Structure 1
Amino acid sequence: MSTPLILLILAIIAIACYVVGTRHALAIAGGRSSKLHSRPGYYGTFVALCAVLPSVLILAAWLVVSPLYINSTVLDGFPEDVKARSPAEQGLSFGMVSSLARGMNVLSLDEIERIGGNPVELRAALGAKGVPLAGDPEPYMVESAGDLNVMTKISNWVMTAVVLLAALIGAGFSYTRIAPRFRARNRVEKVILASLVVASSIAILTTVGIVASMLTEATHFFTSIPPWEFFFGTVWDPRFAAAGATDSAGQFGLIPLLLGTLYIGFVAMLVAVPSGLFSAIYMSEYASRGVRSVAKPLLEVLAGIPTIVYGFFALTTVGPFLRDLSSQLNGLVTGDYANFIQAQSVLTAGFVMGIMLIPYVSSLSDDIITAVPGTLRDGSLGLGATQSETIKKVVLPAALPGIVGALLMTASRAIGETMIVVLAAGVAARMQLNPFEPMTTVTVKIVSQLTGDLEFTSPQTLVAFALGITLFAITLCLNIYALYIVRKYREQYE
């Protein structure tokens, strides 16, 4: 029985348990809910939880453990010469076995009996059914595929029986516990509280897992390359090694990548901050309700555009426009129509990224300015100040901590951008201050170091994790500082 069907049956059981539990609680109370410790619905919920929760936990554990056990058993059944091969080759063999097993599921029993263990006929039969194979299967693969299917089917039937039996046992046990003074509400709320704790822990555990994985691989990198050469190096030249090689030749200086990241982010903030902040001031202080209801959603549409679309826009429109514009300007001034702005440059990437960041600055700043108490505006206007003077000397100073926090969050978003930089700024790692020339960022090099058929054994690939943990530390510090400022602002005006 498939997992979705089992979950559907458990949902039906839960509904039935809720109805039966609620009616049983009312029956033992003589139809008067005032005699019960909890409301009747809590008793029904208690029965439903006792029936479904253990079953779902068993189902989840089974789905994790059973494939591991079955795959290990199939691998142990391989011939000795196959088990003597490298783990990569064994993985390819098991992948072929899995493909054969999935393909055999579409064949009828008569076809499987007719084919027997002949790999050539099996491949022909699967090809006729539209099931492609990566290579020619060997006889032991056909046998292992059959064993894999048999064990998988047995596991599914046993899992179904165990899960449904656990649901019935849980329902029967909880049904017998129902009594007028049974604290059903307390039990249900404890389960809900535990569920909330688990849900809130997922994000924390995910963050810990990400950091731990990056730190582990970054530590392997720093065993080959000294940390001071990475953090203070001024040359980026990784010199890719062949797959399987451990040659550490190359220079892994972080400074050019870090400068490119900060430079492009700075240009983007120069574009995004004035436009976003001024639009926020207009929408919160000057715009009528009708204009605001139309302008704000249209502005926030920019935040929903995929970054790859911005990258194409920069590559095909903004970059060539700036290049041609510089050529015309140079021709008017000097008579030489050579362009001094490259199509891929810091200016192109920063300008397009700034357009992408405008809705972040505008939306966050608008919410913060709107949250400033109206009594401050009324007091300023009552003392004779104009609306512009009130905004400049009362509203903005009051909202400044929150606006600074919003700008720091926007800066962390700019630092982590990848696709716009790849298409608009190029991949050249260089140290220069000319905004009309290409540069690259940390995120671009993370992508390039992990692209291709490479093994995670050489510094050329492990450096991506060192770059990742560095970028993570930078954005984390920005976010922490921004949250500190925002919380301080909220404490002051709530």
Structure 2
Amino acid sequence: MPASWILLSVLALTLIGYFLARQRAVASAGGDRRLLHSLPNYYGLNAALAAAVPALALLCAWMIIQPLAINSYISNDLPAEVRAVPGELSLAMADISRVADGLSEAVARGAITTEELDKLDAEASDVRSLLAGVGVALGSDVDAQSLDLARSYRAATNTGNILRNVVVLLVALAGMAIAVMITNKDFRARNFVERAILFLLVAAASVAILTTIGIVFSLIFNTVDFFSRYPADDFFFGTRWEPSFSGRGGASDLGFLPLIWGTLFISLIALIVAVPLGLMSAIYLSEYASKPVRAVAKPLLEVLAGIPTIVYGLFALLTVGPLLLDIFGRDGALGVNWMSGGTAAMTAGLVMGMMLIPFVSSLSDDIINAVPQAMRDGSYGLGATQSETLKQVILPAALPGIVGAILLAASRAIGETMIVVLGAGAAASLSMNPFDAMTTVTAKIVSQLTGDGEFNSPETLVAFALGMTLFVITLALNIFALWIVRRYREQYE
């Protein structure tokens, strides 16, 4: 039974428990709802939560733990030389998992029976044709050991799934039954439900914190692994970025400075474009535009935020880059030789700035509109004009929120990848010329994790060091910006 069926079964038990508990509570009061401690719906919700929450929590935990346990169990039968190398172990387990999934799919489709599967010989050519028939692509040939391990993997997975289904349904049924049995007119159902909902809200809020902690620890562990293989001084102060996967680190220059310079340079160009245009658009829409104009202009402006970044990248590559080359190239309209190709920091920065305009504009517009009307009326009452009110009252009051909108746009610019890849090029450069090709940290993270390189090589692990360093820099910038916001906010409180 698939996990989706288990989910539907749990939801069915939840509904049954809701109506049974509600009916039992009303019946215990002799049909007089005034004798109930809580409203009837609380009794039903108590039974529904008792059936759903433990069962769904167990189902989520089981689906996470079962693959890890099966992988650990199966990997013990792999050769010692494979287990000793994490990259080879990962590839071997991935192939075994794909073969096991392919065998299960073949049995489900009727291409082979379970009895025939147990007698299947790995040396026969029909193994690969059988797996190819169900769309399974393998990274290596299926030998006898791999086929046996795949059969064991499939058997363990099927057993685990059956056990999971039984246990989850029993937990849901037991929770529903206990909740219904303790239901009576004096039961404090509302108190239990409110505490349970509070617990769920705290758990939901904790997901973001735990996710952040998981990301940070993942970056830290792999970053430490990288610095155990590559000198930290060469990484942080190196001015050359020339990885060589064939050299496995010995012939690679993995300097961080060209990448962070390209990231900040392109982001600065984007913010120079987005902040003035976005802020002036927000001021016009909130303070000067009529309602018909605002009703049309704001949705059209926000459409820019819904355009995929790959489209922006193609626009930079096919339109903005050639246009800038026609102006600033050797044979361009100005007759200067500032730009030698269509891919440049200016190309990516301009297009990225266009993408960021709705982030600044929409958020700033909402923030300016949130300034109390009483502050405007007071300014007008003192004889100030609309422009003076805007400069002396509205913008200072909305400044913390506007800075937050700019920070959001800056974070979006620092994390952008596709526009940089297509518009700025792939050259790691420390040039001050905005018309030179550059690249960013995020673009290189993608390139270092793409390909056939070994996962435990410095050229691959450097992606985590880049991500961790960028995370620390962004965190420091956010803390500094929050300090500035608080200083300005204190002047107007």
TM bucket (normalised to shorter chain) is 0.7 to 0.9
1:302 matches 2:301: no
Shift of 1:428: 1.5
Which residue number in structure 1 is paired with residue 38 of structure 2? Answer: 38
Letter of the structure 1 residue corresponding to residue 186 of structure 2: R
8 Å CA contact 1:277–1:365 kept in 2: the answer is yes
1:109 and 1:398 map into 2 onto residues whose CA distance is: 72
8 Å CA contact 1:324–1:339 kept in 2: the answer is no
Decide which of 222, 237, 241 is 1:237's aligned counterpart.
Answer: 241
1:279 and 1:224 map into 2 onto residues whose CA distance is: 50
8 Å CA contact 1:46–1:184 kept in 2: the answer is yes
1:483 and 1:83 map into 2 onto residues whose CA distance is: 48
Letter of the structure 2 residue corresponding to residue 25 of structure 1: A
1:80 and 1:383 map into 2 onto residues whose CA distance is: 84
Deviates more, 1:105-114 or 1:1-10: 105-114
Show CA shifts across 1:395-421 (max 9, x none).
223323332332233222222222111
Question: 1:71 and 1:35, CA in 2 relative to 1: closer, same or farther beyond 3 A?
Answer: same
Which residue number in structure 2 is paired with residue 126 of structure 1? Answer: 130
8 Å CA contact 1:299–1:359 kept in 2: the answer is yes
Question: 1:435 and 1:118, CA in 2 relative to 1: closer, same or farther beyond 3 A?
Answer: closer
8 Å CA contact 1:101–1:148 kept in 2: the answer is no
Show CA shifts across 1:279-330 (max 9, x none).
1111011101111111111101111111111111011000101111234886
Which residue number in structure 2 is paired with residue 283 of structure 1? Answer: 285
8 Å CA contact 1:372–1:493 kept in 2: the answer is no
Decide which of 105, 109, 128 is 2:108's aligned counterpart.
Answer: 105
2:198 and 2:407 map into 1 onto residues whose CA distance is: 34
2:376 and 2:339 map into 1 onto residues whose CA distance is: 49
Which residue number in structure 2 is paired with residue 199 of structure 1? Answer: 204
Which residue number in structure 1 is paired with residue 191 of structure 2? Answer: 186
1:163 and 1:250 map into 2 onto residues whose CA distance is: 52
- TM-score by structure 2 length? 0.87
Which residue number in structure 1 is paired with residue 417 of structure 2? Answer: 418
Show CA shifts across 1:429-475 (max 9, x none).
22221222222222222222222111233322222222111211222
Decide which of 315, 320, 323 is 1:321's aligned counterpart.
Answer: 323
Show CA shifts across 1:135-169 (max 9, x none).
65445555555554444444433333333233332
2:468 and 2:80 map into 1 onto residues whose CA distance is: 42
1:318 and 1:353 map into 2 onto residues whose CA distance is: 11
8 Å CA contact 1:405–1:481 kept in 2: the answer is no
Shift of 1:253: 2.6
Question: 1:142 and 1:169, CA in 2 relative to 1: closer, same or farther beyond 3 A?
Answer: same
Question: 1:25 and 1:88, CA in 2 relative to 1: closer, same or farther beyond 3 A?
Answer: closer
1:29 and 1:414 map into 2 onto residues whose CA distance is: 62
2:225 and 2:132 map into 1 onto residues whose CA distance is: 48
2:288 and 2:404 map into 1 onto residues whose CA distance is: 23
SS at match of 1:38: coil
8 Å CA contact 1:55–1:166 kept in 2: the answer is yes
Which residue number in structure 1 is paired with residue 227 of structure 2? Answer: 222
Shift of 1:172: 2.4
SS at match of 1:174: helix
Decide which of 237, 250, 253 is 1:251's aligned counterpart.
Answer: 253
Shift of 1:426: 1.3
1:18 and 1:130 map into 2 onto residues whose CA distance is: 43
Question: 1:478 and 1:280, CA in 2 relative to 1: closer, same or farther beyond 3 A?
Answer: same
Letter of the structure 2 residue corresponding to residue 376 of structure 1: M
SS at match of 1:197: helix
- For structure 1, list consecutive stretches of 5 or more residues without a partner in the other structure: none
Letter of the structure 1 residue corresponding to residue 178 of structure 2: F
1:454 and 1:80 map into 2 onto residues whose CA distance is: 22
SS at match of 1:30: coil
Shift of 1:108: 6.0
2:287 and 2:455 map into 1 onto residues whose CA distance is: 55
Which residue number in structure 1 is paired with residue 56 of structure 2? Answer: 56
Deviates more, 1:447-456 or 1:59-68: 59-68
SS at match of 1:426: coil
Show CA shifts across 1:23-60 (max 9, x none).
11111111222222222221222222223333323333
Deviates more, 1:13-22 or 1:121-130: 121-130
Deviates more, 1:163-172 or 1:282-291: 163-172
- TM-score by structure 1 length? 0.87
SS at match of 1:448: helix
Question: 1:412 and 1:127, CA in 2 relative to 1: closer, same or farther beyond 3 A?
Answer: closer
8 Å CA contact 1:115–1:121 kept in 2: the answer is no
1:124 and 1:469 map into 2 onto residues whose CA distance is: 42
1:138-177 pair list within 5 angstroms: 138-139=143-144, 142=147, 144-177=149-182
1:228 and 1:78 map into 2 onto residues whose CA distance is: 39
Q: Which has the larger radius of gyration?
A: 1
8 Å CA contact 1:369–1:396 kept in 2: the answer is yes
Question: 1:426 and 1:121, CA in 2 relative to 1: closer, same or farther beyond 3 A?
Answer: closer
Letter of the structure 2 residue corresponding to residue 33 of structure 1: R
Shift of 1:480: 3.7
8 Å CA contact 2:278–2:358 kept in 1: the answer is yes
8 Å CA contact 2:454–2:460 kept in 1: the answer is yes
Letter of the structure 2 residue corresponding to residue 117 of structure 1: L
1:378 matches 2:347: no
Question: 1:196 and 1:490, CA in 2 relative to 1: closer, same or farther beyond 3 A?
Answer: farther
Which residue number in structure 2 is paired with residue 471 of structure 1? Answer: 470
SS at match of 1:224: coil
Letter of the structure 1 residue corresponding to residue 462 of structure 2: V
1:273 matches 2:272: no
8 Å CA contact 1:248–1:458 kept in 2: the answer is no
Question: 1:484 and 1:150, CA in 2 relative to 1: closer, same or farther beyond 3 A?
Answer: same
Deviates more, 1:391-400 or 1:438-447: 391-400
Q: Percent identity?
A: 50
Shift of 1:171: 2.4
Shift of 1:220: 2.0
Which residue number in structure 2 is paired with residue 96 of structure 1? Answer: 99
